[in-house]
Amino acid sequence: MRFKGELLLSTDENPVLKAIKERRSINRFKPDDVPEDKLEAILEAGRAAPSWTNTQPWKFIVVKNPETRRKLTELALTVTGIGIKEAPVDIVIVVDPKADPYHHIEDGAAATQNMSLAAHSLGLGSFWVGVPEKGVSTDRIKKLLGIPKSHRVISILPVGIPALTPSKTRKPLSEIVYKESFGKN
């Protein structure tokens, strides 16, 4: 197995690989609304995410109300240091640990990733705002959105039309892949 540090498969022929390779975190958005059909497609992508034994422990809260979004922006800022106020819609990904006590975090992360890739494939932008399990901001987000205390907020996914798209590089595979055991090239 040899690596050249680049995606070896042609992304021109595979739309999934193309979306994975080209997706970037977007935190600057145009003020335009997200069309409902695209928003529904993004939510469907989240619903289609893999979960442990198909428990599907997630709930998605779509936030469009300007005042609620303003408050959510303030709370997210304390978590990330990055504002989310420019996005016209925020999707809050929540999981129920009782529905999946072993892998609810991974399940919510998979749903978030699916939605992020779907947004990109539809010409929209998003960025992943991770929410820590405990803390004042998490408690306030739960209170603001009526989320049960027993549930876990995994992430906030602001979605909108990108105002700009940053470029980023990825580490070559040779720096991150080992053969047979850790550290073995």
Q: What angle do CA 77, 82, 156 make, to 5 degrees?
A: 70
Give tens-digit pLDDT for 84-124: 778 899 999 999 999 999 999 999 999 999 999 999 999 99
**What pLDDT digit, counting tens, does each position of 117-167 carry?**
999 999 999 989 888 777 768 889 999 999 999 999 999 999 999 988 788
- The predicted model scores a pTM of 0.88
- pLDDT higher than threshold 90 for residue 173: no
Encoding tokens for residue 114?
Answer: 């699916």
pLDDT value, residue 80: 60
Domains of the chain: 38-164 (3.40.109.10)
Q: Are 63 and 89 in contact (CB under 8 A)?
A: yes
Per-residue CA distances from 45 to 83, 111, 113, 164 (Å): 25, 7, 9, 24
